[in-house]
Amino acid sequence: MPLTLNQMRANCQAARNAMQRARTEHFALGAFNIDNQDTLIAIARAASAKKAPLMVEVSQGEVEALGLENIRDMVDNYKTEYGVEMYVNLDHSPTVAAAIAGIEAGFEFIHIDISQARKDASLDEIIAETRQIVDYARLTGALVESEPHYFGGSSNLHTENIDYEEIKKTFSSPEGMRSFVEATGIDTYAAAIGNLHGKYPVPKKLHIDLLRELRDATDCNISLHGGSGTPGHYFIEAVKVGVSKVNINSDMRVAYRNTLVKELTENPNEYAVIKLMDKVIDAVQEVVESKIDMFNASGKAVVVN
């Protein structure tokens, strides 16, 4: 059932309060992608077990497969069932129209990523279109996230090594962050400090000193995309510095797929696949809980009945 405008605004205000708590209490909300109902159940159970606030997020592919309204309803259903503090983030929304649809569906967090779909988009175009979403988001109070550049990698299991010299070319700068935030009015800036999408054969390396410079540059919230495959000590340091949101996807997908393959192999005559999903959900939940601990978010939930 669609939310009323007042309900959307109340949810968005609660989301703003959660991000403010993250800043003052030095924790980060994990933003965990869902592919289906199984991963959503795993996330909700992890939030309940850890008493942690978090975000469920979907990118355009999941939106096309599941539908904005269905995603909103599913999250609300499990939010109520498990009594958890859980928000919805529209991740890497590629167009103004897609981002507006997310706002109108009542998503509390909107990430507008013009350069994902149009890698040749100019900075002026990215600023102008991001500004449109910032202005439109006033309808509900949704928090808007963006960045002035294409973010590397993909949410998959990669076999190639990480070319850090190439990645450094896309690192955020304090001056660039400050000017982009001032030009757009965004709530959250997606920083590039060595993080990139996907899971790689080697651990990722985050430039924490650069993160400190970014944190000093502006009062805007800071997010880290591409959190999978990152050693936990980087997250511990990042939340101390002031990161408020960390995106996780590939680590969950690897756990899901590997466990499902194992269950299918060990049960060759079982065609009711739903009977094999308990261990799959458990594996994904374990990943989510481990990230919550790294983000210092355990016990930080505030649930209003």
- pLDDT (0 to 100) of residue 1: 73
**pLDDT tens digits, one per residue of 89-147:** 999 999 999 999 999 999 999 999 998 888 889 999 999 999 999 999 999 999 999 99
Counting residues of the chain whose pLDDT is more than 70, the rounded percentage is 93
Say yes or no to pLDDT of 165 above 70. Answer: yes
CA-only gyration radius of the chain, Å: 18
Rounded to whole angstroms, the Cα distance separating 48 from 186 reads 30
Say yes or no to pLDDT of 162 above 90. Answer: no
Phi, psi at 274, each rounded to 5°:
-60, -25
Which range, of 18-27, 70-79, 168-177, averages the lowest pLDDT? 168-177
pTM of the model: 0.94
Say which residue the tokens 């897609």 belong to: 98
Say yes or no to pLDDT of 279 above 90. Answer: yes
At 32, the amino acid letter reads: F
Sign of the C-alpha dihedral computed for residues 5, 10, 16 and 19 taken in this order: negative
Alpha carbon distances (Å) from 291 to 123, 169, 198: 33, 28, 15
At 261, the amino acid letter reads: V
Domains of the chain and any CATH numbers: 5-294 (3.20.20.70)
